[in-house]
Amino acid sequence: MKRWKTLTVVAALAGVLAGCGANEPASTPGTSGTADAAGKAPIKIIVGTGTQFPNVCFLDENGKLTGYDVELVREIDKRLDDYEFEFQTLEFTNLLLSLETKKIDMVAHQMEQNAERQEKYLFNKVPYAHWKNKVAVAATNNTVQSIDDLKGKKVLTTATSAQAIILEKYNAEHDNAIDIVYQNGAANDTIQQVVSGRAEAFLSADFTLPLIDTNNELKLVGPALSESNTLFMFRQNDPEQQALADRIDEALQEIKADGTLKQLSEQWLGADYTSSELAS
Amino acid sequence: MMSFDIAAVLDYLIKLLPAIRITLVIVASSILLGLIVGTLVALPQLYNIPVLKRLSQLYLSFFRGTPILIQLFLFYYGLPELLKLVAVDAARVPALYFVILTYALHSGAFMAEMIRAAVAAVDRGQVEAAYAVGMSGLQVFWRIVLPQAIATALPVFANLTIANLKDTSLAFTLGVMELTGKSQTLGVMSRQFLETYAALAILYFILSFVLERLFHLLERRMSRKGLAGI
């Protein structure tokens, strides 16, 4: 009987103690901010990002969170003394909900600016990349030349993404012609499904395709379906968030002006996608 | 067609090992808490307490009748909203605590039913005989009912624990880096998803097997030594 009691107490303690320390791997602290000239402690900002986007936000072989968006936020953190940025990794589809419920203060995941998102959220003003969405099909596919050829076919997309909104708008105007299949996370290996014929296509930005399609099994067809800037996202109607967005804009201007943004883009995305000259 | 890379499976197995810790923390904490919750919920049913019995039934209905994924989302996003009403700000509480809470409540529901069934399975005649011999209510419970109830409940408890282990694979949806969550990040750069899933399956199988053996051992010791075997 005594052994049972001690065992229970030990196990419970171990569980609680281990649980306290266990959440460390999930959030990587940003560079520690020192108190600014006024002597105030820096405001902590939790940045929500994903782990499934190669070269944009992912874990490298050592398990360290890195990528274009992540390194850009770290660079911004270096330049802003009054804020301290800490990352929290989430599923992409939970990012916007977590932003609304204040679990995170900012979203950094190559978020495109579009009308639907602008209604509910706040974007900063200085973009850090430009997207052109096109239809991506298997390299051997010659029947699909544009989004109109996708009528009656299966198209993969991730819920809550800008590409999903493009497809949904198309379906609203064309009597639900496209069979949209919602997926979650790269684990479903979108590329494999398109190549093997399980799905016909998905929508991709021009520069992200080479990042995920390393074996060149896909190609982009048709005209650009949308062109937009990628920005960070914040909550609307919140003066603190507006102040944060403005400060981030200041830092981004600096980063653009001294060439660091171009350097980051070339390092992670393969070329400079940060100027308004869009790659065709 | 992508070929299956066995060496990669081994590589991923080793990379996934650190994540076992979080998975086991979730399982241990939620099973322990679940046992406590389950006992509390089972008591009104066993002793027929009017209002609490109704509440127990509602609780059981909800937690056994809704999918775990929905429960995880409801608690992670919904509970802080409720807590706002009593001026408690839970927005920054790490997801791990919500995960443990949800799994504890979920397992608790099944444990409550297990406890109720196990106690009811003890022959009424045993209890009456114990009273006849002159034991007090507490003595009857500790020395007659509990050992027999535990013997009946143990296989079911083992089942619930192993099921809980596999259910923890859903925690990644809230951003907790347990086994499944870690595996999702491994395949991103190499796109070897089949290999990561194979490694995952092997790890879960090994963990379940170990748990199964441990419980088997426990059952054998209980059947020989009774409660002293725990």
> For residue range B181-199, what is the model confidence (pLDDT) as tens digits?
888 888 777 777 888 889 9
3-state secondary structure of A213: coil
Q: CB burial class (10 A; 0-12, 13-18, 19+) of residue B1?
A: exposed
Contact B185/A60, CB-based, under 8 Å? Answer: no
Residue among B100, B189, B227 whose CB faces A1 most closely: B227
Are the Cβ atoms of B191 and A214 closer than 8 angstroms?
A: yes
Spatial separation of the C-alpha atoms in residues A242 and A181, rounded to whole Å? 36
Using a pLDDT cut of 90, give the percent of chain B over it: 54
Quick check: helix, strand or coil at residue A4? helix
Residue A35 confidence (pLDDT): 42
Residues A86 and A71 in one domain: yes
Q: To 10 degrees, the CA torsion angle through A226, A230, A236, A237?
A: -110
Residues of A in contact with B184 (CB under 8 A): 51-52, 185-187
For residues A53 and A100, state if they share a domain: yes
3-state class of A88 per DSSP? strand
* CB nearest to A102's CB, from B28, B91, B176: B91
Q: Are the Cβ atoms of A101 and B100 closer than 8 angstroms?
A: no
A236 and A224 co-located in one domain: no
Comparing CA positions, the residue from B113, B143, B112, B114 lying closest to residue B127 is B143
What does the pLDDT read at residue B201?
Answer: 93
Average pLDDT across chain B, whole number? 90
B169 close to A (CB below 8 A): no
Same-domain check for residues A116 and A143: no
Question: Given this model, what pLDDT does residue A242 score?
Answer: 92
Is A148 in the same domain as A26? no
From CA B130, how far away is CA B145, in angstroms rounded?
A: 10
B185 in contact with chain A, both atoms CB, cutoff 8 A: yes
Rounded-to-integer distance, Cα B213 and Cα B211, Å = 5
Cβ neighbours of B4 (radius 10 Å): 10
Q: What string of pLDDT tens digits covers the 280 residues of chain A?
A: 566 666 665 565 555 555 444 443 434 443 343 444 445 788 899 999 988 888 889 888 888 899 999 999 999 999 998 999 999 998 888 899 999 988 999 999 999 888 889 999 999 998 998 888 889 898 888 888 888 888 889 999 888 888 888 899 999 998 888 999 888 765 457 888 888 888 899 888 888 888 888 788 888 888 888 888 889 999 998 899 999 999 999 999 999 999 999 899 888 888 887 776 433 3
pLDDT exceeds cutoff 80 at B144:
yes
The pLDDT assigned to A188 comes to: 56
* Cα distance between residue B177 and residue B197, in whole Å: 15
Q: Of B168, B181, B218, B186, whose CA–CA distance to B24 is shortest?
A: B168
- Residue A154 placed within a domain: yes
Alpha-carbon Rg for chain B in angstroms: 21
DSSP A29: B
Measured between beta carbons, the chain A residues lying within 8 angstroms of B81 are 101
Considering CB atoms only, which of A7, A51, A192 is closest to B185? A51
Strand partners, A122: A234
- Give percent of chain B above pLDDT 70: 98
Exposed e or buried b for every residue in A136-147, given b needs 16+ CB within 10 A? bbbeebeebeeb
The vertex-A232 CA angle with A230 and A235, nearest 5°, equals 135
The pLDDT assigned to B20 comes to 93
Q: What's the gap in Å between the CA of B45 and the closest CA on chain A?
A: 25
Where b means 16+ CB within 10 Å and e means fewer, B95-114 reads: bbbbbbbbbbbbbbbbbbbb
What whole-number distance in Å separates Cα of residue A114 and Cα of residue B167? Answer: 37
A101, B172: Cβ pair inside 8 Å? no
**Mutation choice for A interface testing from B191, B194, B218, B227 by most A CBs within 10 A:** B191
List of residues 6+ apart from B108 with CB closer than 8 A: B33, B34, B35, B36, B37, B38, B41, B63
- A264 and A252, same domain (yes or no): yes
**A56 neighbors A67 (Cβ within 8 angstroms):** yes
- A103 plus A239 within the same structural domain: yes
B86 vs A55: CA distance, rounded Å = 43
For residue A164, being part of any structural domain is answered with: yes
Residues of chain B found within 8 Å of residue A5, distances taken between Cβ atoms: none
ipTM for the assembly: 0.76
A165 and A178 housed in the same domain:
yes
* Position with higher pLDDT, A22 vs B154: B154
Q: Which domain holds residue A141?
A: 131-228
Residue A270: its pLDDT value, please? Answer: 82
Q: Looking at chain B, which residue has its C-alpha nearest residue A212?
A: B189
Residue A11 domain flag = no
Counted domains in chain A: 2
d(CA A117, CA B48): 53
Residue of chain B whose Cα is closest to the Cα of A191: B191
Name the residue type at position B151: A
Verify that A78 and A105 share a domain, yes or no: yes
Whether A223 and A237 map to the same domain: the answer is no
Give, in degrees to the nearest 5, the angle at Cα B138 between B134 and B139: 50
Average pLDDT, stretch B52-81?
93
Distance separating the N- and C-terminal Cα atoms of chain A:
75
Asked if B78 reaches chain A (Cβ–Cβ under 8 Å), the answer is no
CA distance A78 to A126: 18
Residues 6 or more apart whose CB falls under 8 angstroms from that of A164 comprise A157, A158, A180, A182
H/E segment holding residue A185: none
Q: Does A140 touch chain B (CB under 8 A)?
A: no
Residue given tokens 């170990």 in the structure block: B210
Of B180, B175, B177, nearest in space to B165 by CA: B180
Phi, psi of A232 (to 5 degrees): -85, 155
The residue among B98, B117, B228 whose CA lies nearest residue A1 is B228
Of A140, A110, A96, which is closest to residue A231 (Cα–Cα)?
A: A110
Distance from CA of B126 to the nearest CA of A (A): 21
Is A7 a member of any domain?
no
Contact A186 B95 (CB under 8 A): no
Q: Are residues A137 and A217 both part of a single domain?
A: yes
Q: Does A88 touch chain B (CB under 8 A)?
A: yes
To which residue do tokens 């003394």 refer?
A: A81
Q: Residue A159: which CATH number?
A: 3.40.190.10
pLDDT of residue B217: 93
Query: Are residues A136 and A218 located together in one domain of the fold?
Result: yes
> In residues, how long is chain A?
280
Quick one: how far is CA A78 from the chain centroid?
Answer: 21
The highest-level CATH class for domain B20-180 is: mainly alpha
* Three-class DSSP category at A65: strand
Identify whether the C-beta of residue A139 lies closer than 8 Å to the C-beta of residue A215.
no
Smallest Cα–Cα separation from B198: which of B1, B3, B12? B12
B-chain residue closest to A100, CA distance: B77
